[in-house]
Amino acid sequence: MRLVNVVKPTHICNLACEYCYNDDVRKPIMSDATLRNVIAKTIDYANATPVVKDIDFIWHGGEPTVAGIDFFARAIQYQSECDPRATVTNHLQTNGTLLNKKWIRFLKRHDFKISLSLDGPQEINDTYRVTRAGIGTFDKVMSSIELLKLGGFPVGICLVLSKANIHRVEEIYDFLVSHELGFNVIPMTMSGAARDRYQDLGINADEYADAWIRMYDRWFESRAAYTYCQDFVLKTRAILYGKPADCISMANCANFNLSVDPVGDVYSCASLSGNLAARLGNIDENSIGGILDGQRGREFRARDVDAQCAKCKWQHVCHGGCLSRAYKFHGSVHTRDFYCPGLFRIYEHIECRLAERGIHAGHPHPWHLSDGLDPSVLPVTRKISSALRVIPIQSI
């Protein structure tokens, strides 16, 4: 089991993306005392929980690099002073615009996993991913990607689906393939700046499914023109094995996922950060176990089964979809994800595509041809089986 702590050193960001989900207007950078508590208490909780074999610290924001290299050097130092039983991995989710050679050397020295935010080719990306002066970010992000590649990093991309790009997903996929960029794909959520622009920029469940399916088919049918997509791999694995494979589909995602904001407030998900009604506690005042066992912690860890979910064909691999999106759109974790109808269509589509290749849901074939499996299935199964350990890619 993986324990994931999405740590937000600051909510400050040097960009002004029009669909940003950040709800927190506070501007501090995390104090040294809080940083120490985040590291020590996360590792203490993992050490006391035998099923936890891996700890992922995902450094997020805002823009986490605003906190500076010295902040992250202290984080590495504090990790080294603890005695983790589990394997500790650091991930940086960044907009990429502040990276330079000094950052690259530091991140390489300490084996960070890197994900950047990019919405496709320049014309698409620069529609909404802009600086505070309204300047597009594409050139700077691509420059940082090249620096990372020269440094030997496998680079992941976070791609947000909005009205700006849902009709051009094939073009976006081909662009990512041409630059050898693995990616994750997520729809806009109803919070932060995006709340005010949702009518103009947001997509509904069917638009999400339409775009996702078209891009998935490009990926599924690819031979040479292939790149890794976390969401495609995990959702396909879910159908293959008949159980959830990503955090948004788990019945109890809040058991092993948490997020700590710049002032030490703890949430069950990074996208809830700054929403005080969803605050579970504070890392400076309590242990992680104490926070999760508190009244609010128990509420977010015991999501009710929606009546419609209970009858759904895909309830066992979906569990109502993303808990935080349910909260953002509907004000409660005890309901279905806003994108639920789209998720249903997505799972149905994956089942059909696998059936075309002789693979049936819940009954995965072994990855060989000894049983006479159609050779055309191999590109698909290799995509899934080669990605057993995935790098978490979060939204920004």
Q: What is the pLDDT along the chain (396 residues), one digit of tens a residue?
A: 899 999 999 999 999 988 888 888 777 999 999 999 999 999 999 999 999 999 999 999 999 999 999 999 999 999 999 999 999 999 999 999 999 999 999 999 999 999 999 999 999 999 999 999 999 999 999 999 999 999 999 999 999 999 999 999 999 999 999 999 999 999 998 887 778 888 889 999 999 999 999 999 999 999 888 899 999 999 999 999 999 999 999 988 899 999 999 999 999 999 898 888 999 999 999 999 999 999 999 999 888 888 889 999 999 999 999 999 999 999 999 999 999 999 999 999 999 999 999 988 775 444 333 333 333 444 555 555 444 333 344 433
Determine, yes or no, domain membership for 357.
Answer: no
Determine, yes or no, domain membership for 390.
Answer: no
Determine, yes or no, domain membership for 292.
Answer: yes
Listed residue (185, 176, 180, 143) closest to 342, CA to CA: 185
CA distance to 26, 179, 308, 376, per residue, from 175 (Å): 36, 6, 39, 25
Q: What pLDDT is stored for residue 314 in this prediction?
A: 95
Cβ–Cβ under 8 Å, residues 26 and 262: yes
Which residue segment(s) compose the domain that 42 sits in?
Answer: 2-228+252-296
Determine, yes or no, domain membership for 393.
Answer: no
Work out how many domains the chain is built from and give that number: 1
Determine, yes or no, domain membership for 316.
Answer: no
Determine, yes or no, domain membership for 239.
Answer: no
Cβ–Cβ under 8 Å, residues 373 and 355: no
Rounded to the nearest 5 percent, the helix, strand and coil shares of the chain are 45, 15, 40
CA distance to 80, 104, 113, 210, 256, per residue, from 110 (Å): 11, 10, 9, 40, 24
Q: What pLDDT is stored for residue 223 in this prediction?
A: 83
Q: What pLDDT is stored for residue 362 in this prediction?
A: 75
Residue with tokens 């939204």: 395
pTM above 0.75, yes or no: yes
CATH number at residue 132: 3.20.20.70
Q: What pLDDT is stored for residue 198 in this prediction?
A: 86
